[in-house]
């Protein structure tokens, strides 16, 4: 890969813009799957909040991450000032969008913010890491649009499809770090379990009533991404989070 495309890839992946785009698209897809209008402020809150939480964690954990993620750490160290500026802008946007969505939704997301800000300490409890990260993503992806739309349809279906998919996503993403849960079953076993979770999501999507059945695209694309998966610094977020982004866009288009 030449320097220009690689630099662009690093900027998208290591600044967490790619992941934030996936979070925003997930909220939009879930809203459409619940038969409600896509709220731009909810999408914006998911996008900007993801930027704040993940970049804040990357900056705080820079020294420890040098051993597990040297390329990402080098990017963070090189562009530290710009990332701090990005966090500031995203934080301001989060406050704006948080005010727009109203206090019930904002209060519902406070635990997610707490998990994000204290993730550095929570990492010590490796056995719980996959569970609380997946739960946080489900809270944002499904909980946020559900709170904003009291008349939302098929919330349980949407939550179940996203839960299976996001669990697969988080497991695959953490395979490279070989967390405590991963070490017990090995990388191959963990990836097999991730594929099973994605397959369950596909089955749930196929069985779900309309309009939530459109979400089948998200676990389907995730399952395809897990075939031949390579747990590297660039490949993991590019393809695994990219699967959430692409699947969500397909779900929105077909919903």
pLDDT value at 37 more than 50: yes
Is pLDDT of 5 > 80?
A: no
Helix axes 242-254, 217-226, angle to 10 degrees: 150
What ranges do the domains of the chain cover? 3-254
Q: Quote the percentage of the chain above a pLDDT of 70.
A: 88
Query: Among the ranges 13-17, 127-131, 175-179, 196-200, which has the highest mean pLDDT value?
Result: 196-200
Q: Is the pLDDT of residue 209 over 80?
A: yes
Instruction: Cis check for the bond before 114: say yes or no (omega within 30 of 0).
Output: no
The predicted pLDDT at position 228 comes to 78
Asked if residue 193 lies in contact with residue 185, where contact means CB atoms within 8 angstroms, the answer is yes
Assess whether pLDDT exceeds 80 at residue 1. Answer: no
* Residue 199: Cβ-neighbour burial (10 angstroms; 0-12, 13-18, 19+): middle
pLDDT digits (tens, 9 = 90+) for 56-89: 888 887 777 677 778 888 888 899 999 999 999 9
Mark out the alpha helices in the chain (DSSP H runs).
3-14, 17-33, 40-60, 62-68, 70-78, 80-101, 103-108, 110-117, 119-122, 126-138, 144-148, 155-175, 180-207, 217-226, 235, 242-254
For residue 2, name the pLDDT band (cuts at 50, 70, 90): low
Give the pLDDT confidence score for residue 130 in this predicted structure: 81
What does pLDDT average to over the chain? 87
Q: What is the 3-state secondary structure (H, E, C) of 108-152?
A: HCHHHHHHHHCHHHHCCCHHHHHHHHHHHHHHHHHHHHHHHCCCC
pLDDT in tens, 214-250: 999 999 999 999 987 877 766 678 888 999 999 999 9
Summarize the confidence of residues 183-192 as an average pLDDT: 73
What is this structure's pTM? Answer: 0.90
For residue 180, what pLDDT is reported?
A: 46
* pLDDT: which is higher, 50 or 106: 50
């Amino acid at each position: 890969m030449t320097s220009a495309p690689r630099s662009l890839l690093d900027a998208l992946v290591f600044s967490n813009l790619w992941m934030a785009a996936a979070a925003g698209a997930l909220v939009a897809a879930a809203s459409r799957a619940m038969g409600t209008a896509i709220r731009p402020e909810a999408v914006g809150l998911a996008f900007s909040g993801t930027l704040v939480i993940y970049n804040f964690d990357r900056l705080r954990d820079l020294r420890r991450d040098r051993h597990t993620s040297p390329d990402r750490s080098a990017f963070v160290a090189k562009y530290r000032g710009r990332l701090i500026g990005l966090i500031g802008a995203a934080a301001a946007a989060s406050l704006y969008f948080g005010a727009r969505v109203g206090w019930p939704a904002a209060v519902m997301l406070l635990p997610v913010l707490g998990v994000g800000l204290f993730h550095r300490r929570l990492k010590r409890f490796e056995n719980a890491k996959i569970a609380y990260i997946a739960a946080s993503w489900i809270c944002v992806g499904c909980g946020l649009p559900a709170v904003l739309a009291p008349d939302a349809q098929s919330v349980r279906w949407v939550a179940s499809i996203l839960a299976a998919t996001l669990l697969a996503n988080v497991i695959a993403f953490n395979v490279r770090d070989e967390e405590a849960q991963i070490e017990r079953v090995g990388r191959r076993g963990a990836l097999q379990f991730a594929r099973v979770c994605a397959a369950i999501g596909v089955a749930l999507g196929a069985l779900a009533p309309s309009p939530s059945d459109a979400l089948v695209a998200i676990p389907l694309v995730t399952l395809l991404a897990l075939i031949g998966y390579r747990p590297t610094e660039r490949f993991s977020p590019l393809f695994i989070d990219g699967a959430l982004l692409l699947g969500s866009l397909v779900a929105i288009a077909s919903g």
